[in-house]
Structure formats: structure tokens, C-alpha cells
Structure 1
Amino acid sequence: MPTARPTARVTASGTPATGSPSGPADTSSAGASASTSPTGGASPAGRPLAGRTVLLDPGHNPGNAAHATEINRQVDIGNSHKECDTTGTETDAGYSEAAYTLDVSHRIRDILQGLGATVVLTQDGDRPWGPCVTERAAIGNSAHADAAISVHGDGGPASGSGFHVILPAKVVAGVADNAAIVDPSRRLGLLVRQKFQAATGEPYADYIADQGLDTRSDLGGLNLSTVPKVFIECGNMRNAGDAKRMTDPQWRQRAAQGIADALTAHLTTPAG
């Protein structure tokens, strides 16, 4: 659910979430947080992302609700302190944001690996809680990712629907200095907005004013990133229409394709 807004307009997920009764069993392999694309057999033309690294950050963790002490610990995001992580939201039927984000991230990973990319996940259902937002940023930085995206579902007002992309505001304070990635992140964000809408038909969020874009200075995953990074709130899980779409495996595949298309365009099209 939306949180108090500091220096920029804020929307965020918030209500506790467990389980995924509406979603299908995930067929992707789980385990290691880093996956390297296979080599050999395909022509360079069929592997346009060979040699590129993408960081996928599935928002939240199904175990967070059982680890309140750990996730409520305050961490330094440069211009303030905030919780290590949150529980995320869920649909009225109990399909959790954490289940949604991991499923979609697996689908994106499969597409990108097929194009030759090395894909790193901040978590792959392989840890009991977290990681903290500071570690989520650090994983992408350490991987020297060429692009990074944090996948979420929003917990907005039930009357609101649609998706939006969150861009980093420039934050140079304390341990944070993301000045170098603000412009390339905006370019990535515009591509995500375009390709996600083309793939899913989802409208821009009608409870966010700026045509599906929200620039924020209160997210550690963006403040602390040294690689181009955006968040996507793929829909409002508290809205009945969005929830119905987000619990549909075929729609989730289209969502993954749109995000993968945006990352591919960002990494293969010269800036300018």
C-alpha cells in the first residue's frame, strides 16, 4: 500500500502476504542466485545479449512476514534510513506479491538467457527472508550489471489500476551517489514503459499522475545503485481487474516478455 511521501511522489507495496493460491506451480529451476547463459550452438545473431549481464530483483520474499525483527531493521540508504525490506502486498484471494515477482523474474530470466545474457537474481526463493534493500543494490553493483530492474506488484487503492515504472531521482548523500545512472536509468525506464504496455495492454496507473512514471528518492535499491536500474509496479494487486490479470500465467508470460524486450532494446540500441 502507498507510504508517506518524502521529497518525491511515493507509491509502495505494504500489506503482509503469504501463499500463492491463484498462481501455478513455478516450472523454472530454483537454487543459485546467479545463472549464466549456455554457450555454443547458436549464432551471434541469435544471441544479441551475449557478454551482457542483467540483474533481476524479485521484490520481497514470502518468508519476510515470519522475520519481522530482521526486515524491520533500519538500513542506511544515503539520504535517510528505512526498513531492511517489507512483506509486500497480495490480492484479495491471497496471491502474494513475492510469489508474483519471483515467477515473473524466472520467466524474464529464461527469455534473456535464450538471448545470451548472464542473469543474476537478488534472491531465487533460496533464503528465508530479504535480502535488505541495501544488499539488493550491492548485488547488482558487484555483478557490474549492464542493466537492472526490480519487479513488483503495487498495493495501491483498490479503485486504482494500471502499471507504472519508478525512476531514480538523483541522490548524492552519505553512502549514496547515483548521479551517473540517473540518465541511463530514465532511458531504460521509458523503454520498460513502452514495451510492457505493448506486450500486456495494461494502461498506465490512473493513481500516478505522470503517465506511468514516478521519480523517487526514497528507495534504497535506486539510491545505492551504481548500474542503470528501475522498478516496475506491474499492476495494482489490490484492484480486482489487475489482480485477475496478474494471477493469469499467460498474462505473466506477456509481462515477462515486455520487460525482457525493454532490457534487450536498452542493451542493443545505442543511446542518443
Structure 2
Amino acid sequence: MPESTIGIIAGQGQFPLLFARAAKKKGLKVVAVAHKGETLAELAAEVDEITWVRLGQLGKLIKALKQSGATRAVMCGGVKKTRMFKDVRPDFKAMTLLNKLRHMADDGILRTFCKVLEDEGISVLASHELVPELLASAGVYTQRGPNPEEEEDLQVGWQLAGELGSLDIGQCVVVHRKVTVAVEAVEGTDACIKRAGELTHKQGGVVVKRLKPIQDMRFDLPSVGSATIETMKQAGATCLVIEPGSTLVFDREEMVRIADNADICVLAHS
């Protein structure tokens, strides 16, 4: 039955794998549409069916989901937004979507994408509802909390990240000594943190990542993990601030272990 099948529209990282495992444990048939150059090859071993597409092959994506019998799908993992400038070749279906957009902001693109799927009989669900254990809980995760200077930068960054998100630009900002050092746009969180490290000469910085106020919870939730902490180490950043209840936290124990060893504070702030 279609209700026993769930489709995964898979992007980068480990989230598609984690979601697939959780769905299988619940007895669901899992079919994936994976993006070449983005999705981990290991996903193939975690799902019942997989179809590989290139960015922009919306028609092929829809056909794969419909042929598998999936009337429900989730979006797991993002794609490098910078690829839109070099190797995206939209098919006719994707061109139809793009022609409906007034601008190329993240939320607008994804909402329109979901509407196209729904018109084809495929409901887009919130992926985190099947894996709620991955959502951040409030509190300090590491052995130490923020020091007074980091607390001041946290407050500046928290407000700024909210303003940035309300414009549908990005989810992450880096603040050092009350100075906004870097803001995230199409380059992504890791590149934003690395740029901040260059500008501060690796002398510190508070990384704030939070949900956009206008964001649809069905897609592109903020996410962090051990790779985020490794990037912060390289950039000299000393504190990571995330939002409870709306941020996905991957490999939490490993993330906290690396952070404690590097004297980096991690907390979920509201």
C-alpha cells in the first residue's frame, strides 16, 4: 500500500541515512531519489529502492517516486547552493518551477517545489517527526558554558541570526567581540565559519545557527554535528549556539567529546 511507502529526496550528509534506518525500523518501505555529487553512496544499502538524478532533473525525480508507489516523501539533507551557478541543467519540469519564482531565495524555491510535488499527488512531510530524537534539547551540552565575552557575542549573534533568517538569506552568523564577522549566504555554514576564522586570525568567535523565522519545518532545518566542531577548531571559534526543538544534532556524543577536548562550548539557547 502507498501508505506503507515513504520517499526520501536525499541531499548531502548523514541525515538521509539516519532517516532511512528509522523508517525501516518502523516497517516502512523506503525509496530514495539521490542527487549525484551530493548524496552519500552508502544510502543505497539503507533503502529498498534508489534512483540517482542530477540537480535539476525534477521530472525524473517525480517519476521515480510515483513509480515506486510513494505518495509521501521527506526532504533530507541540503545541496550545495553554489552548484546552481555551474552545473545545474533544469529539465522542462524544473523550468516550469523556476518560472513561478519571483526570486531564488531558499524558502521560496522549496515551498514551490513542495507545491509541484503535491500537484503530482505526493505529500511532503516534516522529516524530523520520524526522528525527533535528533532535535536539540535546551541546555549546555559541554563541560563548560559560555564565558562573559561569549555571552555578549551570543546575544548579538542570536538577534542578528533572526534578522538574517527573516530575509531568507541564511541560518548562521559568527560574532567576535560584538562584531559581526561573517554571515551565511549561499556558501553554507562551514564556509561561513572558515571565513570568520580568516578574518579574526583564529582568535575566537561565537557561531550562532538558528531556524529562520519564516521557515517551513518540512525542509532545510539547521543541522550541526562533529564536522561542525572540527571546522570551528580549524577557525579558532570557541562557542556554538543552536536553537532547541528546531536544530538537528548528528553524532551528538562524538560532537560533545570533540568540543570538550578543544574547550569549545556548545549550547542550545532559546
TM range (shorter): 0.3 to 0.5
TM-score (norm 2): 0.34
TM-score (norm 1): 0.34
Question: Which has more helix, going by share of residues?
Answer: 2
Bigger radius of gyration: 2
Larger RCO: Structure 1 or Structure 2 (Cα < 8 Å, ≥ 6 residues apart)?
1
